[in-house]
Chain A
Amino acid sequence: MAHVTTGERKSIFSLFNFIALIVLGVGIYLTYLRFAGGLGAVTNLSDYNPWGIWISFDLLCGVALAAGGYVTSSAVYLFGMKKYHSAVRPAILTGFLGYALVFLAINYDVGRPWRLPYPLVVQQGTTSVLFEVGLCVATYLTVLFIEFSPAAMEWLGLKRARNLVVKLTILLTIFGVVLSTMHQSSLGALFLIVPSKLHPLWYSSYIPIYFFVTSIVAGLSMVIFESTLSHRFFAHKMDETHLKEANGVTLGFGKAASYVLAGYFAIKVLGISSGNLWHYLKTGYGTWYLVELLGFVALPSLLYAIGVRVKSLTLIKWTSVLAVLGVILNRFNVCLIAFNWHLPASERYFPHWMEIGISVFIVMIGLILYRFIVTRMPILYEHSDYKDAH
């Protein structure tokens, strides 16, 4: 693996800082436009298309890609795979940041964000899948915050509090898995109510299961992908254990992802045949469906398997990118591309550049926070005071 030297790192970071500055500037301006002028001022949303990329990307993809937290912590703490321990903290951190950013994005998307607590405190719409999603995401964000907090407390030197929280690890992990199972699948269940609007190839009563399974794929692949990136840019922050375990994490998670993708492929085919949807495959949407299923599910499954077989870390790492893109593609298909397929092209949605601008802005905030935290807190290494404390 090519580690970036100190000099190179400096120039990369100053380039990053420059881009970050522009993105933040534009983002703040767009934020002003959004809240001063309403959704209509910055989005292409319409009465036919009430949900755009802030839901399909920021919410649906955001939550799926932040699944690394529960996937990794349950593998290590519940299934006893201790050899992946050094992957837990970075995964929890990205999970926490991911959910925090999802929450931030939701504030842009809903019409009256200051009323977001209403479903909890004013009137509970318990028949709504969205109610369950909201409840779980809010609770899980709190859980992730607590799971992340030991790193911050070690940094701040709050020994007592830190040891207290660490004692709760198993409980928090179980809680996290329960909540994740619920809302990852419920994000898919949001679309159960629209059989008349979502293309039959994507509409399925199994959609909650599809969403849950793909969240595992996304979680595993994101851990691999992120570790690749952080090795490039933050290798100097990693300790011996982290560097030693990293290849094992890549191989192990790649193998797991290969299996899960294969299983997902199987249940997708099962869904097609139980719904007897074969004839749709001959249409344009069918071709697109096959692109998703073969190119972004079957192919990464195969490549992961080969990568593990021949122990090619490079192949596994590139495959993780493909798998992540596959999950993103799936969420876009369900929420935008195959949604409202019955409408004429003139009534369909395409994002306004300002919507994309806000999404980029939010991702940028995540990157900046990630960098701030890993360069200060014991994420990629163990704090010297707490070695072997796990």
Chain B
Amino acid sequence: MSISRRKFLGWVGAAGLSTTIGKSASAATNKHFAGYPDSFAILHDTTLCVGCRSCEAACNKVNDLPPPDRPFTDLSVLETRRRTTTKAFTVVNKYDNPKKSGHPVFYKKQCNHCLEPACASACFVRAFKKTKTGAVVYDPSVCVGCRYCMIACPFEIPTYEYDQALTPRIRKCTMCHPRVIEGQLPGCVEACPMEALSFGKREDMIKIARERFRKYPDRYVNHIYGENEMGGTSWLYVSGAPFKALGMREDLGIKPAPELTAGALSSVPIIVGLWPVLLAGIYAVSKRKEKFAQTDQEEAVASALDKDRSEQSQPEEES
């Protein structure tokens, strides 16, 4: 925790967050959105993380998740590469440090709470909302269960309750939205014994990260993962090893997901507007051709008949 509780509560009050729980999904528009001013972010300093799984345990508790397959004190699970599941909204994975062998690095994975979430833009019932706090929250009461959000998420975060027959939900980290609007810290941030997680305003988190780069230039790769990735996220990461070594994709680019489909969607009015006119035109032309063909044919028949008649009449004249 890098901020005091009082300061944090002050922010919450200032942003009026305890009363307005995020307006309707402004994230789900085609317009570019650079994030709510004063929204929060969490900075994960992987150089401080020791892979203790306290954050996983806290997440499990605050979200009332079922007990884990292996107790949170069992660190052997770190040996296998894990992803988020319906039972674990966050997982810590261990990776070899390419710079210093024998000193593994850890990376905590969960929903990144994108500024312009792919999941929200993909959902056809707007079940996801980017709230003013920065959290991307999900409303199971409208979800149809099409799972397009899971396809769309570039970080492969949303999980689905495949074992539920009647009420399957998408499950993912909420950035502890319910706690934050009540002035509490996210469960994982509160639980981390190493201060590897910091919660605060996004701009401040970026400042803190830069400050650390400046102070300890040897310790960090000079890049804040999440500052611009996929248009920016509300989880930010700094690391000593290249991010790729932490299993994070470096090829995602900085274009926010909604922009990827905006072009195709904006062509809809063109099709709807132009196609009928064009097709009606084609119809008219082919109809006209047909008519001409018909008159042509009639004329041809008529002239043939004329010719026939005159040919027939000629001998009569002769005779």
Contacts and interface: CB of A to CB of B under 8 A. Distances in A.
Interface in B192-230: none
A3 to B, nearest CB: 34
A79 interface: yes
Contact of A111 (B144, B156, B264): B144
Contact of B271 (A38, A116, A178): A178
Contacts of B161: 38, 111
A338 to B, nearest CB: 14
Given A193-B152, A193-B257, A128 B123 contact: yes
A307 B120 CA distance: 49
Contact of B275 (A38, A45, A177, A205): A177
Contact of B162 (A40, A123, A186, A195): A40
Nearest to B146: A110
Given A122-B142, A194-B151, A130 B286 contact: no
Contact of A50 (B118, B121, B147): B147
**Which of A40, A123, A190 has the most CB atoms of chain B within a 10 A radius of its CB?**
A123
B169 to A, nearest CB: 8
Interface residues of A, number: 61
A112 B162 contact: no
B260 A195 contact: yes
A130 B286 CA distance: 35
Given A40-B162, A47-B84, A193-B261, A127 B121 contact: yes
A123 B126 CA distance: 6
Contacts of B276: 174-175, 178
A72 to B, nearest CB: 15
B126 A125 contact: yes
Interface residues on B, range: 35 or more
Contact of A134 (B124, B159, B166, B257): B124
Contacts of B85: 47
Contact of B263 (A127, A186, A197, A205): A205
A39 B148 contact: no
A131 B252 CA distance: 25
Contact of A80 (B83, B84, B158, B289): B289
A77 interface: yes
Contacts of B163: 37-38, 40-41
Name the 9 nearest CB pairs between A and B, nearest first.
A111-B145, A80-B286, A40-B162, A50-B147, A131-B124, A111-B168, A189-B264, A50-B150, A125-B124
22 contacts: A35-B165, A37-B163, A38-B163, A39-B160, A47-B83, A50-B148, A78-B283, A80-B290, A110-B145, A111-B164, A113-B144, A123-B127, A125-B28, A127-B120, A178-B276, A182-B272, A186-B264, A193-B122, A193-B152, A196-B251, A197-B151, A208-B267
